[in-house]
């Protein structure tokens, strides 16, 4: 009583349903994995940002020794200015000696 045409119809229908379910499951897994990947990347970025901020704060704390740093900078700056003035004076003296000997 089985008609081969009806049998082929139901076989094709079952194949389409199984294929559709398989594709649906695969797409669901892909979207799920993409969501997991996005969440992991956001978490890694947050951790990276926290590490950068912690290191920057630690470095700032190590180099920041309070008002004594500000006191040393002008002294170093003044020393640099004095050294430059001394070099300028030496150059002027050498230039005057050169001019007086070349005339």
Looking at residue 66, what DSSP letter applies?
A: T
Tell me: the pLDDT tens digits for 35-57? 999 999 999 999 999 999 999 99
- Domain borders along the chain are 1-64, 67-103
Average pLDDT over residues 47-76: 75
User: Residue 71: which pLDDT band, with cuts at 50, 70 and 90?
Assistant: very low
pTM to 2 decimal places: 0.45
- Alpha carbon of 62 to those of 23, 33, 49, 54: distances in Å? 58, 43, 20, 12
């Amino acid at each position: 009583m089985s008609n081969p045409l009806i049998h082929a119809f139901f076989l094709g229908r079952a194949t389409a349903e199984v294929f559709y379910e398989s594709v649906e499951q695969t797409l669901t897994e892909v979207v799920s994995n993409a969501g997991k990947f996005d969440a992991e990347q956001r978490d890694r970025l947050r951790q990276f940002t926290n590490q950068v901020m912690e290191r920057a704060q630690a470095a700032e704390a190590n180099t920041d020794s309070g008002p004594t740093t500000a006191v040393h900078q002008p002294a170093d700056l003044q020393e640099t200015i004095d050294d430059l003035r001394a070099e300028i004076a030496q150059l002027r003296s050498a230039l005057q000696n050169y001019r007086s000997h070349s005339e």
